[in-house]
Chain A
């Protein structure tokens, strides 16, 4: 029977496939022998500013592993900040947590709330230090996000603020002083109007762009709201946001004016990758972006660029961003010790300094800037110095319960204002209503968790 014969061979393939699958199954169950003296710990890290930093991070960890024989760190790339948070949390719940993870600075609260991370004080005790003493060397702006209810839970690792990048060639072309970036909103509009280029009704060059995807855009907006004198969340308590306050609405109105009244920025939502690409291509003369993009700008701008403070309105103020190292619960005593050893090493002034030079993030430790390598570097790249000078205006990154969900309505609001789909009043009111609803379950229940 022909059909029979043909099918027999098919079944054979199927059987082989199954055998293969069974073999693979079996191999997974074979325990891997662990005949190594060094304490193995897992370290989760996300992609930061640019993808290639993930490769540098692996090199840094390899260097650490080579430098000593007590601890062997396994560096695990874990996607974006959000994915790293999900993975670390899920692994913890499943009973298989990493020893150390690098998490978004404003995610620390959530891990504390879920009782998943260790307070740093317990490790400092062994070194005979208090948290306050330990934090002495860190810039005041980065301390807040590492603490929950007065207790230190994270060690800042890479930090950034928004900063203004501008194209000096364009400034010269329109008769502006290439060494004087706009200092306030009024000048931003004035300069912006001069820098815009039009071809008929079509804008071929914008005055200003900044990232507007949800998340990154919220962080930038926080800067504008603070520059306008306000704060769009309760800095004392993470269960309340001020999306409908006069200062927030003022910032949104400024967006509306930039996009529609003056046409200085596009009336479409621009994600960070487009903003940077447009800046490099000369399609926008100024951009506000993270200092973490400095390395990237240094490498890719084919023109003379300048860096300045983000223009203020009633005051200068920028939020701090970036990531911190946290140590997870559920470790053995030896693993805990190994984890702290690694965290201490990677957050030393020396390591933070070299990471800062490779990435563009600023080092959260003041002492990194006392080192000669750093002084030489800033002499060579003055833009890195501007980022440091702006540090005196930094304020904490907004961090609330259920952060990702609460950020969404504000993201929707500023996007709707930029695209002209909604008025400022409507958008702000809608965002506030939605956020209140999301935060309601956290209010009037037991507040901060205890250890």
Chain B
């Protein structure tokens, strides 16, 4: 353990028990899903809810799920959407956050709060107006249409503005003395110091748009432009009948896999980013 503070034994035990309990509760559904995805027949039998594997694992569910949709196409579309949104967002939030943190202009605070109001709008309300705009621009049924409403992010701007504000002015003053203009200050002073916040925001953005369902469903008509969540729903959802849990679990695993791998590989960096962006 990295924690160097020494705890008394009862405190350590209590800490251990609480953390274990949270971990078990949190990971329960996920573990069940992993087990269910390898289960041969997932309807009959009272053991359907069992988390303990008591069967010969089978890949049949994965095979069926993989055959049920064009996952390669779905992955590509989702990656384009997720990283397309993120790359534009990083530019827009950086510039907006800099303006709100450092520049002086009339009604600055009022405008900032107005901007933050965006966070309080429930996205489904905007479905029809957004669709109208996109159809007007001739963008309906394109991946750009899936991305466009998210190009500006109130949350990202807020997060980055707070980060910029926490960076001492002295750094910038030193840069100004060295002859930097505002863009150089942003580029060489503020952004490197805001890296943890940028990483934290990127994770939130990628996960949110990876999981998004309703908006892509509304915008996309062509099957070859569908994203992962819509593709999964097209074969795994049940309205009136029993859910085929094995198939649902396997399909969900396929959808989640890239995120899980990415998180496992970069876990340390991610956690650090969240810690830093939180502490500062």
Query: What is A's interface to B at a CB cutoff of 8 Å?
Result: 1, 3-4, 6-7, 10-11, 14, 17-18, 20-21, 24-25, 27-29, 31, 42, 46-52, 54-55, 58, 74-81, 83, 86-87, 90-91, 93-96, 98, 160, 211, 216, 272-273, 275-277, 279-283, 289-290, 292-293, 295-296, 300, 302
When chains A and B are docked, how far (Å) is the Cα of A138 from the Cα of B238? 27
CB atoms of A90 and B218 under 8 A apart: yes
* Complex Cα spacing A296 to B241, Å: 7
Complex Cα distance, B240 from A302, in Å, reads: 20
Cβ-defined contact, B192 with A6, below 8 A: yes
Q: Is the CB of A78 within 8 A of B192?
A: no
- Given that A28-B145, A52-B235 are known contacts, is A75 also in contact with B223, CB under 8 Å in the complex? yes
Interchain residue pairs with CB less than 8 A apart (19): A1-B188, A7-B191, A10-B195, A11-B191, A14-B87, A14-B91, A24-B84, A28-B142, A29-B138, A31-B138, A51-B237, A54-B237, A77-B234, A80-B239, A87-B218, A273-B238, A280-B43, A292-B240, A300-B242
CB distance from B227 to the nearest CB of A (A): 12
Contact of A47 among B134, B214, B222, B233 (CB under 8 A): B233
Partner of A18, one of B88, B223, B247: B88
**Residue in A25, A47, A281 whose CB lies within 8 Å of B237:** A47
Contact yes or no, B192 A10, CB < 8 A: yes
| A108 to B195 Cα, complex, angstroms | 53
Contact present for B83 and A20 (CB under 8 Å): yes
Q: If the complex has contacts A24-B84, A94-B134, A302-B44, are A78 and B242 also in contact, measured as CB distance less than 8 A? A: no
- Knowing A17-B86, A20-B87 are in contact, say whether A48-B240 is a contact too (CB < 8 A): yes
Q: Is B63 an interface residue (CB 8 A)?
A: no
B111 at the binding interface (Cβ < 8 Å): no
A14 touching B90 in the complex, CB below 8 Å, given contacts A79-B217, A90-B127: yes
Q: For the complex, give the distance between the alpha carbons of A141 and B140 in Å.
A: 39
Residues of B within 8 A of A74 (CB): 221-223
The answer to whether B239 touches A47 (Cβ under 8 A) is yes
| B135 neighbours in A (Cβ, 8 Å) | 94-96
B interface secondary structure, majority? helix
User: A283 to B86, alpha carbons, bound, how many Å?
Assistant: 48
The 8 Å CB contact of A21, one of B88, B127, B245, is B88
Q: Specify the main secondary structure of chain A where it touches its partner.
A: helix
**B residues near A29, Cβ cutoff 8 Å:** 138-139, 144
Chain B interface size, as a band, is 35 or more
Q: Chain A contacts of B45 at CB under 8 A?
A: 281
B280 on the A face (CB < 8 A): no
User: By the criterion CB–CB under 8 Å, are B223 and A49 in contact?
Assistant: no
With A7-B188, A51-B237, A280-B44 already in contact, the answer to whether A273 and B243 are too (CB < 8 A) is: yes
Lowest 5 CB-CB distances: which A-B pairs, in order? A276-B242, A17-B87, A28-B144, A94-B131, A296-B241
How many angstroms from the CA of A9 to the CA of B218 in the assembled complex?
38
Enumerate chain A residues within 8 angstroms of B108, measured Cβ to Cβ: none
With the chains together, A11 CA to B135 CA distance in Å?
Answer: 34
Q: Which of B5-50 contact A (CB under 8 A)?
A: 43-46, 48
- Known A10-B191, A79-B217, A95-B135: A49·B235 in contact at CB below 8 Å: no
Chain B nearest Cβ from A85, distance in angstroms: 12
